[in-house]
Amino acid sequence: METVDLGKQLAQQRIKAKAALAKKGLELPSKPAYALPKLRSDLTDLDDHAIMQYLARFTRFQDHLAGELALAEIDESAAVNILEIAKARHMAGNWTGPSSDRVAISKANATLDEDVQAAEQQVEACKAKRKMYGVLVESLARDAGVVSRELSRRIGNQPTERRLNRHSA
């Protein structure tokens, strides 16, 4: 098994997952055309329209990254499965008897096998990617929460009459 084969196998899992969504008329959110938003320190200076647009930017990017996180989790799960199969193949192909000592030796040899090592490296790469997407999703959620709290603060500071009139039209 070569690293290229591992990549193809991971891609197949992604394709299956996306196809299952498409079958239900759903798709993952696409990447926004703008860069990852950064939390501004001047939120209180923005007018209501600007702050709503700003919150929408955070939300759209968070939606996209949550989809990427899901795909990274699918990749990681598939990579772990590929690793377990590579280990099993190696052990089954090199088993020479019933002795319990041979199990430990066979496991050690499997760890040294190039195919198993490639699969282990793929698992680690997938795990790292998943963790990084997780950090980005959590960070965006916190930042969007700050922007949302600013909107809530503004609404809370509006006179009661204005709030009531807005809903009675």
* pLDDT, tens digit (0-9, with 9 covering 90-100), for 91-100: 777 666 666 6
pTM (whole model) above 0.85: no
Nearest residue to 87 (alpha-carbon basis) of 123, 111, 118, 56: 111
- At residue 99, the pLDDT reads 61
- DSSP-derived letter for residue 43 is G
Q: What is the pLDDT of residue 133?
A: 94
- Provide the token pair at 16: 């299956």
- Torsion sign over Cα 154, 159, 162, 164: positive
Intervals of the chain under pLDDT 70: 1-4, 94-106, 108-109, 160-169
> Which letter, b or e, does each residue of 18-34 get, where b requires 16 or more Cβ atoms within 10 Å of its Cβ?
beeeeeeeeebeeeeee
